[in-house]
Chain A
Amino acid sequence: MPDKRKLHFWQLVFVFGAITILALAANYGYGSMKQPGMMNDTMGSMMGLMHLKNITVSDLVKQQERLESIQGQAQTQNHSNHHATSGSFLKTAHYLTTAAVILLLPFIIAGSIFLAIVWIK
């Protein structure tokens, strides 16, 4: 029996399910149209494409690290200058958020352990 109170939930599921399927269909249509073009491309760009596939932040961070270390060797002076000029408001935000997060974490962990001890039957 359909539950009247869940009606809105199913409405949302339906609308977003439709959006998802349409978007996926559109993406695949677009992808398959591009496929021949890609195959005609040079070997080099196809390799590049393969390497960029499924790239995530961690890969980028690694790459950035490598880049920065290469740069850093060459121009250590420039490097620190560059970061100092990236705006003082940003710098303040960086200090405040980092300090807040790092300072509160020990208390949260300790509080959680306390709660675990008190709660466990």
Chain B
Amino acid sequence: MKNVRFDFIIHWLWTIVFALLVLSGLAMVGAKYGWILNYDIASADYIHRLLAAVYVMLTFISVAIEVIRGIKGDDKKLTWFIIGKSGYQLFTFITTLIFIITGVIIWVCMDSNIAAVSFALYIHEKLTYIVIASVIWHIYVKCHALLWPKKTEAKKNSMEAGK
């Protein structure tokens, strides 16, 4: 465990938090979706909001790390990092920002500005579908990670990055 890299840890923490956010979010989308969590919207709401805070903190940490790297002029690509300046890292960064901004609008305006909330909910929901599709694509691209270690190819192809 000693030389596990922090970007590796953040990737998997992120994945877990993200998965639970999607699951709890989906259960709230509408009457056709409630079955996902057996119509227990109260728990879904609770989980979604607690994990949203965790998600925001993870994002904050990641952005802070990138800012420090930017100031230092460290251009090395972190293979496992969630945000970055190109490719899927950039996509994840942008979608994350939209999730957080619309999420906060929903959160804060629910008591005051219902029009803003409806609009933000619409984006929040549609973005979820897009990002899920992109994650499936991501799994397709990186699905050598699914190979079981015993397989002959696994050693060669599995990431040296994560150790």
A/B touching: CB–CB < 8 A: yes
Q: Are A9 and B97 in contact (CB under 8 A)?
A: no
Contacts of A109 in B (CB 8 A): 97, 101
Query: Number of contact residues on B: which range applies?
Result: 35 or more
Interface string of B63-94 (1 = CB under 8 A from A): 11011001000000000000001000000010
**Listed stretches B3-11, B13-21, B127-135, B143-151; interface member:** B143-151
Tell me how far the C-beta of A61 lies from the nearest C-beta in chain B, rounded to whole angstroms.
6
Tell me how far the C-beta of B7 lies from the nearest C-beta in chain A, rounded to whole angstroms.
16
Q: Are B107 and A101 in contact (CB under 8 A)?
A: yes
Q: Are B30 and A56 in contact (CB under 8 A)?
A: yes
Greatest chain B CB density within 10 A among A9, A98, A108 is at A108
Q: Is the interface of B mostly helix, strand, loop or mixed?
A: helix
Query: Number of contact residues on A: which range applies?
Result: 20 to 34
- Cβ 8 A contact of A104, one of B32, B56, B144, B157: B56
Measured between alpha carbons, how far is A5 from B30 in the docked complex, in Å?
38
CB of B159 closer than 8 Å to a CB of A: no
Contacts of A55 in B (CB 8 A): 30-31
Contacts of B52 in A (CB 8 A): 97, 101
Q: Are A4 and B153 in contact (CB under 8 A)?
A: yes
CB of A50 closer than 8 Å to a CB of B: no
Q: Are A108 and B117 in contact (CB under 8 A)?
A: no
Measured between alpha carbons, how far is A7 from B49 in the docked complex, in Å?
37
CB of B22 closer than 8 Å to a CB of A: no
Q: Are B157 and A102 in contact (CB under 8 A)?
A: no
Greatest chain A CB density within 10 A among B49, B56, B57 is at B56
Q: Are A112 and B97 in contact (CB under 8 A)?
A: yes
Q: Are A118 and B53 in contact (CB under 8 A)?
A: no
Q: Are B30 and A100 in contact (CB under 8 A)?
A: no
Q: Are B28 and A65 in contact (CB under 8 A)?
A: no
Q: Are B30 and A111 in contact (CB under 8 A)?
A: no
Measured between alpha carbons, how far is A98 from B70 in the docked complex, in Å?
29
Question: Which residue numbers of A lie inside 8 Å of B, CB to CB?
Answer: 4-6, 8-9, 12, 52, 54-58, 61-62, 65, 93, 96-98, 100-102, 104-105, 107-109, 111-112, 114-115, 118-119
